Amino acid sequence: KQSGKTTAGNFLFGCAMLSLDLVEYAYIDDYGRLIVPYEDSDGQNKPCVFPVDSLHPNMISYMSSNIWHKIKIYNFADNLKHMCINILGLKEEQCYGTEDDKNSLTNIKWSDCYTQKDKTGFMTAREAMQYVGTDVFRKMYPNVWVDSTIKRIKKDSPELAVVVDCRFPNEVSGIKGAGGCVIRLNRN
């Protein structure tokens, strides 16, 4: 189990789908996945996992046509993860996968970084994302991830934007400053 950000996002997404009358029901299963009705070939509604964060082209097409103008999930780390995948060569699962995926080794060596952290060998995906996101970009421009996410939200302009990975004070301030509401969730 991870921190629960995805499950919380799935829950809020499901609640919004219900309130917008996009589905008849929505619930979270024991694995934190969003379950909604899906009409099968016989015209029967069956429970189905709704992959809110799917990167599959068919799902992206469906979401952009039917859902994202109403509600969209965002992460402050999305732009960082896309950059790490597209520029540094990390695999999608290393950025979006399980703890084991995120702790897998990359092709990036600590010795190739402009400031070493007394570490040797290859970085894990988590270390690479943290190094690039915090030690490079946040050091140069502390609000880089907040501002880039708020800019994406304004560009996309969904009726409801849900940011699920808000952790730092400047992220809270950024959301509030853009007219948003922050809800703090605890594990217990």
How does pLDDT run along the chain (188 residues), one tens digit per residue? Answer: 566 788 888 998 999 889 888 899 999 999 999 999 988 889 888 999 999 888 889 999 988 988 899 899 999 999 999 999 999 999 999 998 889 999 999 999 999 988 767 889 999 999 999 999 999 999 999 999 999 999 999 999 999 999 998 989 999 999 999 999 998 877 76
How far from 31 is each of 17, 35, 38, 55, CA to CA, in Å? 19, 11, 19, 19
Amino acid at 5: K
Q: Are 83 and 91 a contacting pair, CB within 8 Å?
A: no
Domain residues of the chain, as ranges? 5-74+157-177, 78-140
